[in-house]
Amino acid sequence: MTQTYETLLVEQDGGVLEVTLNRPDKYNALTSQLAHEMIALCERAEKDDSIRAILITGAGKGFCAGQDLDDSISRPDGYSVSDHLNDTYNPMAMAMRNLPKPILIAVNGACAGAGFGLALAGDLRFASDKALFLTAFIGIGLAPDTGVSFWLPRLVGPARAAEMLYTNKRIPGAEAAEIGLVNKVVPHDELMTEARAMAQKLAANPTVGIGLTKKALLHSTTATLQEQLDYEGQLQNMAAKTADYKEGVAAFRDKRKPNFQGK
Ligand code: T3D
């Protein structure tokens, strides 16, 4: 399937679709177009069986500085920010979380505002030791959006989340793993090597099983224990019908490494 993008660079290496946010002069600040291209990319990734993991990073020095503030300045009176969010960053965040394939975010630099929300919409995060995390919203008098108020307290705890949101505290990449914002911090020059290796590892795992696991994790954010147990049972029925489950058990019996096909 061929799709061209103006704000994203997209390349496929085996089962990994590597996506680079590509507005480097503005630290890859978000526009409606970028959000719509990310949504289209998620739709493509869902349909294309050859894509088994997504890796997202930023071009240049920044990862993503949130809403493009040059666009915000030129808005007409009466402009509805919630309409803008409902058209752009909200469906983008949902498309990423609902995509039944793993998304690894490689944070190469400043990660702010709705760009922070984009990073939190991924499943795993690696950060460069030159990365910088800030919520940014309160810095310009805004409240959080793009799911930041949902994911941040769950990752770092309510007190740290409140501090980051109320004071716009900056978290350097080197500290981000200590507080649970990212899975791993790596020296800047090694970020993409490490992230690509992890993305390939994810792509070689049972893709359907990962997709069902992703559903289970999202469901757990609102479910009771009983509801979650019931839901796990339904998902397990689906996982147990996959060829990868058969292969996993056969490989265990044969004492060999499994060769998962993502089906
Ligand atoms: O209104 C709505 O639609 C509601 C939705 C809101 C969602 C949001 O995301 S609100 C939050 C918006 N983002 C921000 O407030 C962050 C603004 N940027 C910064 O605070 C800083 O740039 C950073 C801390 C991210 C990085 O600082 P630093 O010193 O490393 O870089 P810099 O020099 O400030 O920025 C580099 C360039 O990127 C610079 O361009 P120039 O001067 O070299 O031509 C700067 O203007 C540009 N840039 C950075 N952030 C944005 C941006 N351009 C447009 N929009 C930005 N958000």
Q: List pLDDT tens digits, range 75-116.
A: 999 999 999 999 999 999 999 999 999 999 999 999 999 999
Tokens of 74: 């030129």
Cβ(138) – ligand 1 distance below 6 Å: no
Cβ(26) – ligand 1 distance below 6 Å: yes
pLDDT in tens, 181-230: 999 999 999 999 999 999 999 999 999 999 999 999 999 999 999 999 99
Cβ(172) – ligand 1 distance below 6 Å: no
Cβ(140) – ligand 1 distance below 6 Å: yes
Tokens of 12: 């496929």
Residue type, 143: A
Distance from the alpha carbon of residue 98 to the mean position of ligand 1, in angstroms: 28
Which mutation among 26, 90, 111, 118 tests ligand 1's pocket best, with the greatest number of atoms within 8 A of CB? 26
Cβ(113) – ligand 1 distance below 6 Å: yes
Q: Which residues pair with 64 in a beta bridge?
A: 111
Q: What pLDDT does 3 receive?
A: 76
For the whole model, what pTM was predicted?
0.97
pLDDT in tens, 25-36: 999 999 999 999
Q: What angle do CA 206, 208, 212 make, to 5 degrees?
A: 115
Q: What pLDDT does 2 receive?
A: 60
Q: What pLDDT does 209 receive?
A: 98
Query: If you take atom 48 of ligand 1, which residue's CA is the nearest one?
Result: 26
pLDDT in tens, 146-172: 999 999 999 999 999 999 999 999 999
Q: CA 187 to CA 175: how far, in whole Å?
A: 13
- Averaged confidence pLDDT in the chain: 97
Question: Is the predicted pLDDT of residue 1 greater than 60, yes or no?
Answer: no
| DSSP line for 136-188 | -GGGGT----TTHHHHHHHHH-HHHHHHHHHH---EEHHHHTTTTS-SEEE-G
Distance from the alpha carbon of residue 57 to the mean position of ligand 1, in angstroms: 17
pLDDT in tens, 218-262: 999 999 999 999 999 999 999 999 999 999 999 999 999 999 999
Determine the atom of ligand 1 nearest the C-alpha atom of 66: 9
